[in-house]
């Protein structure tokens, strides 16, 4: 990961902006640079991943124009080849192609990118700033207005606390130019429905996911893999191992005493031949990490915080005990193929609509979790299930085929890898268990128990009523909101609300986001 900041116009307190920017120094601990554009300034914290030499340091400059980008541009080599007769490239960095592309295509360049990115460009010819974010929002970007009236952009909202009044997430799939946000790609919507037969669908799923994984193995820094033992992360690891000459390094985390995932992660690791590490955590580890996790995340959402505790701690272990710089993860599969609760979807159209909603919201929930837990430990996240070609195809598949009418969730994904000996049958067809539950049921129980002990019923009622947006509905939710307000005072609008199963569907009106409360949880906890 890297971190970027831009003050897009006159700035009254540049030293304060620079000090605030240091709050995200862990995203890019290798080097820091600020430049004065003549109409504002830009800052960059670097985590060197591609093009490790000093020439890869940003901001990049081209004839008085500048760019800062936190991103990975897949297939950037083809752009360099196409532009080689007109531009001289100084580094092996993928992001160096952005200014030449902008000169050639203007804002139309963003639709050409196969990338996870957030960037800000200063156009030296016009004196204006242009910002953009990838269609899913895998890389973070936030904005607000400073006291001088200038727009500020930053990788994390914590860098804008004290500089801006209201802070908002930059909308994924948009660019900002001339004072307005312009949509350039809505990855959640499909213009056509794909009516391929089942075999063709599964062949395409397998081919496109494999391609998405392969392209994310390209790195000048060392790779690692999070392996929960669930379907999604296990598939990423299994495919990656096929294209790596040496054993990949996999990591799993679980609670002392009742970890569900650890045995499955070990089974998957032994099967694919990875070099595997288990991290065991205790009740005290969980409680000690909680406030830090909320401060890191910038959310009050129950699901996100629960799932982040284990992820934060395993990433902390990796940072402190290895030289790995890049982590591949299994996020974004659920939004495409279904959660436990989407088994209750009343129709194929309802399933598709829910999937579209979840894809649009990812940047506030699962994607936010992965980014913050990984980046705060000076690591970079890569998300193969977020590959744009893959997402676009799966979203276009006839939703009738994505409904769970097979007696097994995510059937298309499982069937796509049923041939080829990728995983043991027990892993490939294992019932889904949410990460926060599978780290160990006790982890969530400890968090709820801790929160219950902090508030009387009367205090809970009184404190909850003070929030008009996303009012806490349990003592656990109140605890998280109060911790959030400590670090992000008055910024509740950063998150739309609580991630919960669709309450309009029969069987989904629940008071806890855990899949454990659903009637179809079944063998998921075994």
Instruction: Report the C-alpha gap between 458 and 492 in whole angstroms.
Output: 23
Whether the CB-CB separation of 299 and 488 falls below 8 Å is answered with: no
Work out the burial of residue 331: count CB atoms within 10 Å of its CB; fewer than 13 is exposed, 13-18 middle, 19 or more buried. Answer: buried
Instruction: Report the C-alpha gap between 412 and 513 in whole angstroms.
Output: 25
Q: Which two tokens stand for residue 419?
A: 């041939």
Work out the burial of residue 477: count CB atoms within 10 Å of its CB; fewer than 13 is exposed, 13-18 middle, 19 or more buried. Answer: buried
Instruction: Report the C-alpha gap between 417 and 420 in whole angstroms.
Output: 7
Whether the CB-CB separation of 510 and 518 falls below 8 Å is answered with: yes
Q: Which two tokens stand for residue 166?
A: 């209201």
**Number of residues written out for the chain:** 526
Whether the CB-CB separation of 305 and 297 falls below 8 Å is answered with: yes
Q: Which residues contact 419 (CB under 8 A, 6 or more apart)?
A: none
Active site residues: 2
Among left, alpha and beta (phi > 0; psi -120 to 50; other), residue 396 is alpha
Instruction: For residue 389, give Cα distances in angstroms to 173, 240, 283, 394.
Output: 14, 18, 41, 9
Instruction: Report the C-alpha gap between 502 and 344 in whole angstroms.
Output: 9
DSSP 430: P
Instruction: Report the C-alpha gap between 277 and 513 in whole angstroms.
Output: 29
Strand bridging mode 60-62 / 168-169: unpaired
Annotate 187-233 with DSSP letters as a single string: TT--SS-B---HHHHHHHHHHHHHHHHHHTT--SS-EEEE--SSHHH
Instruction: Report the C-alpha gap between 450 and 3 in whole angstroms.
Output: 34
Annotate 8-42 with DSSP letters as a single string: ES--S-HHHHHHHHGGGGGG-BSEEEEEE-SSSEE
């Amino acid at each position: 990961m890297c971190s970027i900041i831009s003050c897009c116009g006159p700035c009254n307190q540049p030293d304060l902006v620079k000090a605030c920017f240091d709050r995200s120094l862990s995203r890019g601990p290798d080097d820091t640079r600020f430049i004065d554009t003549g109409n504002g300034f830009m800052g960059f914290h670097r985590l060197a991943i591609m093009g490790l030499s000093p020439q890869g340091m940003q901001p990049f400059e081209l004839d008085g124009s500048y760019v800062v980008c936190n991103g990975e541009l897949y297939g950037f080599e083809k752009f360099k080849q196409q532009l080689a007769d007109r531009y001289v490239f100084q580094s092996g960095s993928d992001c160096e192609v952005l200014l030449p592309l902008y000169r050639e295509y203007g804002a139309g360049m963003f639709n050409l990118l196969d990338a996870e990115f957030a960037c800000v460009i200063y156009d030296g010819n016009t004196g204006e700033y242009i910002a953009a974010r990838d269609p899913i929002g895998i890389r973070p970007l936030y904005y607000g207005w400073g006291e001088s009236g200038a727009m500020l952009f930053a990788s994390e909202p914590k860098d804008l606390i004290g500089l801006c009044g209201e802070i908002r997430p930059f909308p994924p799939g948009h660019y900002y130019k001339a004072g307005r946000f312009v949509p350039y790609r809505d990855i959640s919507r499909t213009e056509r429905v794909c009516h391929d037969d089942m075999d063709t669908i599964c062949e395409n799923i397998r081919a496109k996911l494999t391609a998405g994984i392969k392209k994310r193995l390209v790195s000048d820094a060392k790779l690692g893999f999070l392996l929960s033992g669930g379907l999604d992360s296990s598939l990423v690891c299994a495919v990656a191992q096929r294209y790596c000459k040496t054993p990949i390094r996999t990591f799993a985390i679980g609670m002392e005493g009742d970890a569900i995932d650890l045995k499955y992660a070990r089974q998957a690791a032994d099967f694919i031949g990875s070099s595997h590490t288990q991290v065991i955590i205790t009740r005290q580890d969980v409680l000690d990490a909680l406030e830090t996790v909320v401060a890191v995340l910038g959310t009050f959402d129950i699901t996100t915080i629960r799932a982040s505790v284990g992820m934060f701690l395993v990433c902390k272990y990796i940072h402190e005990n290895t030289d790995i710089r890049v982590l591949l993860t299994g996020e974004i599969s659920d939004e495409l193929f279904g959660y436990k609760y989407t088994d209750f979807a009343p129709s194929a159209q309802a399933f598709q609509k829910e999937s579209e909603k979840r894809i649009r919201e990812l940047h506030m929930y699962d994607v936010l979790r992965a980014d913050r837990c990984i980046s705060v430990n000076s690591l970079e996240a890569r998300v193969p299930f977020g590959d744009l070609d893959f997402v676009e195809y799966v979203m276009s598949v006839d939703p009738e085929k994505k409904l769970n009418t097979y007696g097994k969730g995510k059937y298309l994904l499982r069937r796509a890898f049923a041939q080829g000996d990728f995983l043991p049958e027990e892993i490939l067809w294992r019932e889904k268990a949410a990460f926060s539950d599978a780290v160990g049921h006790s982890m969530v129980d400890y968090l709820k128990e801790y929160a219950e002990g902090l508030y009387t019923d009367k205090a809970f009622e009184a404190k909850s009523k003070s929030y008009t947006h996303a009012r806490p509905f349990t003592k656990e939710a109140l605890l998280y909101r109060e911790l959030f307000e400590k670090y992000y005072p008055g910024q509740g609008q950063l998150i739309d609300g609580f991630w919960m199963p669709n309450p309009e569907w029969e069987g989904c009106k629940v008071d806890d986001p855990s899949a454990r409360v659903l009637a179809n949880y079944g063998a998921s906890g075994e």
